[in-house]
Amino acid sequence: MSQEQQEKVVFVGTIASSSALDQLNVFKGFVSVENGKITKVGSMAEYNLIATSNELSGYEKVMLHGNQLLIPGFVDCHTHAPQFPNIGLGLDRPLLEWLDKYTFPLESKYVDVNFAKKIYEQVVQRLIKNGTTTACYFGSLHLEGTLQLVECIIKYRQRALVGKVSMNVKNDANYYNKTEKELNDVETFIQKVIGYKSNLVAPVVTPRFAVSCDETLMRGLSEIANKYDCRIQSHISENRKEVEYVLSANPGCRNYSEVYDKNYILNSKCIMAHAIYLDEDEISLFATKGVSVAHCPASNTRLRSGLCPVRKLLNNHITVGLGTDVSGGDSATILDAMRRTMDVSIHLELLENMGPALNFKEVFYLATLGGAKALRLDDKIGSFEIGKEFDALIVDVYTKGGQIDQYEYSIDKNEEHYLLSLLQRFIYLGDDRNISQVYVKGKKVKDFS
Ligand SMILES: Nc1nc2[nH]cnc2c(=O)[nH]1
Ligand SMILES: [Zn+2]
């Protein structure tokens, strides 16, 4: 057994973890971890009992102080690693123009593996610093460049799904591949990622969207996904002009989802970003097929795409996680995605009577277990349950220099309310300064304390 596998740690303090959209547990207690896996979760009383026996001998003890929280790591269900150099730039155009003018020209640069390595080193570290223990990435069109992303993820020990982007329809930037090369490259990419033998990183088949992939490519990609039992990710119904374009290019299809469905893209291992304008038939198709949605509120607003009715999707039994969607999104942190999810949801309640708006407890679920379910990783991560792998953050709510450091105050002295107020403040006001330690599969990957 390796040194790493023998680690035994027990975390003691305030713990917050969701078991369902409407089921948040915040309590004082402990989580014990052995070989990266959670072995016990319990109350303070239970901890005191086992602490006096010799059950915890050999365990390192991490005692959280009163204003710290232990929470599951954040899951970013949708982001574009090569687009980080454009973050906060070029948001003055709607989607299709933005792609042609800003995004494809930048992504074309990742043919240069040195450039790719330099950027991806920063991207992966930045996400970990912000508490994203799992990310579902779009890479670029390039095989070698996207392998650089995989190598950085392995180096910094993030958990991830990574896709080499597939496109075979010509565009102004000449950023596409011929179909045969594309299918060969995707298969090689998958084999190489599997060849790294990482238990944290898996490949994901990634047709960019129906505008840039024809039927032959989509069908070929679906076959590859089946052959290697891979997840598939793409974009759907993000922008009205995009939907119009896809329907005009596919006159036999009643809606956008049908274009994907007839090419075998939609299944229970498929994650679709945006899904703003799905009609009732598409919503039931997603529910029946088990397609997940990555909700990306920052880019939906910044590119003026629209307001995604997340409550309606959830009420219709669609699994939803959160995505930052950099660089359509202008923020790389899931904390920000949680806040924007609440904002959009409030706007829908006020303007469209589509309430009740999602609250902070519900977006915490979406950022953790919801995201894990959307990526079909909830057997491993997303909450503190015995047998799951330990991906977690230690949060320091009143950290010096942070947004909340002077306001150590709670309106009442009830302990449960006080513990909940810690989580509430972190969600509404926190940032990376409040994330003092980050763990992936039981191992500390960042220590800012
Ligand atoms: N937001 C966003 N939407 C897309 N649709 C197709 N490609 C993209 C992309 O890179 N970003
Ligand atoms: Zn996207």
235 close to ligand 1 (CB < 6 Angstrom):
yes
- C-beta of residue 308 within 8 angstroms of C-beta of residue 294: no
Which residues are CB-contacts of 394 (< 8 A; sequence separation ≥ 6)?
Answer: 11, 62, 64, 68, 69, 70, 435, 436, 437, 449
- C-beta of residue 70 within 8 angstroms of C-beta of residue 394: yes
From CA 411, how far away is CA 2, in angstroms rounded? 49
Given a cut of 50, is residue 5 above it in pLDDT?
Answer: no
DSSP letters along 120-169, please? HHHHHHHHHHTTEEEEEEE--S-HHHHHHHHHHHHHHT-EEEEE-EE--S
Q: Quote the strand ranges of 178-336, DSSP E.
A: 201-207, 231-236, 270-274, 292-295, 320-322
The predicted-structure confidence for 34-65, as pLDDT tens digits, reads as follows 999 999 999 999 999 999 998 899 999 999 99
The predicted-structure confidence for 105-134, as pLDDT tens digits, reads as follows 999 999 999 999 999 999 999 999 999 999
- Best residue among 97, 99, 274, 302 to mutate for probing ligand 1, ranked by most atoms within 8 Å of CB: 99
Given a cut of 90, is residue 157 above it in pLDDT?
Answer: yes
With H, G, I as helix, E, B as strand and everything else as coil, classify residue 227: helix
ipTM for this model: 0.99
Given a cut of 50, is residue 2 above it in pLDDT?
Answer: no
pLDDT at 1: 39
- C-beta of residue 65 within 8 angstroms of C-beta of residue 13: yes
In the chain, pLDDT over 70 holds for what percent of residues? 97
pLDDT at 8: 96
166 close to ligand 1 (CB < 6 Angstrom):
no
Gap from CA of 55 to ligand 2 centroid (Å): 47
Largest CA distance in the chain: 71
- Best residue among 95, 301, 326 to mutate for probing ligand 1, ranked by most atoms within 8 Å of CB: 95
The predicted-structure confidence for 282-318, as pLDDT tens digits, reads as follows 999 999 999 999 999 999 999 999 999 999 999 999 9
Give ion ligand 2 contacts, CB < 5 A: 273, 325
